[in-house]
């Protein structure tokens, strides 16, 4: 699922001149150079939040025009596991190439239909040169992704993701349906930086509490 992150991030209303970019896709304010998002197992006691082991970490790097240059995913031990590089054509994202450094596989996603001339609406992937999956995104009336449906090459459902948002554009909840189970995550934003980007979020994942922190570096 992490391979899709850079292609299916939540969209916000575009307030920048020159069209949408990856900052918009991440609902980021200001000129962000790098964003690192780390999720920890957590326990909340009263007003205190205690974290334990790291569950996941992902870093996005952007150029000065707000376009994503690379996404790096790290495992629980902090080891680089996946490197995903978006591909652009005439200023519009056309797909991404993702390399799994652990399994030594390469997954290539190609966008065949876009929404608002930037966000992926329909895309297909190959894995090690063979047809792998197809993903279709649906959007709400504010241009935010409300549903993602991913199917394997044989047409069977791999996952369905349904999202709801706060007025700010940040995600409020996310329901992920797999063939054998469903998970529901609810998000509460507890800290923001001076530009208004959230830096700390409580995640209720099927009743299990996690804490996600974002370290944001600006140009």
Q: How many domains does the chain have?
A: 1
Q: Is residue 168 part of a domain?
A: no
pLDDT in tens, the chain (219 residues): 444 554 555 444 444 444 578 898 888 999 999 999 999 988 765 556 667 788 899 999 999 999 999 999 999 889 999 999 998 888 778 889 999 998 788 999 999 988 776 678 899 999 999 999 999 999 988 888 899 999 999 999 999 999 999 998 899 999 999 999 999 999 999 999 999 999 999 999 999 989 999 999 999
Strand partners of residue 161: 148, 176
Q: Is residue 48 part of a domain?
A: yes
Report CA dihedral (143, 113, 36, 218) to the nearest 10 degrees: -70
What's the domain range around 45? 2-147+187-218
pLDDT of residue 114: 82
- SS3 (DSSP) at 25: helix
Query: Are the C-beta atoms of 163 and 174 separated by less than 8 Å?
Result: yes
Q: Is residue 114 part of a domain?
A: yes
Q: Is residue 76 part of a domain?
A: yes
Burial 182-209 (b: 16+ CB within 10 A, else e): eeebbbebeeeeeeebbeebbbebeeeb
Q: Is residue 156 part of a domain?
A: no
Neighbours of 117 (CB within 10 A): 10
Q: Is residue 175 part of a domain?
A: no
Q: Is residue 92 part of a domain?
A: yes
Q: Is residue 105 part of a domain?
A: yes
């Amino acid at each position: 699922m992490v391979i899709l992150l850079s292609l299916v991030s939540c969209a916000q209303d575009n307030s920048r001149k020159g069209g949408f970019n990856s900052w918009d896709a991440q609902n980021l304010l200001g000129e962000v150079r790098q964003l690192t998002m780390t999720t920890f197992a957590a326990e909340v006691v009263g007003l205190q939040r205690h974290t334990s082991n790291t569950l996941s970490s992902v870093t996005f790097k952007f150029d000065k025009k707000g376009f994503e240059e690379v996404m790096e995913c790290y495992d629980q031990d902090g080891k680089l596991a996946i490197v995903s590089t978006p591909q652009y054509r005439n200023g519009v994202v056309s797909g991404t190439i993702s390399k799994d450094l652990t399994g030594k596989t390469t997954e290539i996603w190609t966008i065949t239909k876009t929404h608002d001339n930037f966000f992926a609406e329909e895309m297909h992937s190959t894995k090690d040169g063979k047809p792998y999956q197809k993903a279709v995104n649906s959007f709400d009336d504010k241009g935010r992704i409300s549903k993602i449906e991913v199917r394997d090459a044989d047409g069977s459902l791999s996952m369905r993701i349904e999202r709801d948002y706060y007025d700010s554009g940040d995600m409020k909840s996310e329901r992920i349906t797999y063939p054998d189970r469903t998970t529901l995550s609810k998000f509460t934003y507890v800290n923001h930086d001076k530009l208004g980007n959230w830096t700390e979020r409580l995640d209720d994942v099927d009743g299990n509490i996690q804490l996600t922190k974002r370290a944001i570096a600006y140009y």
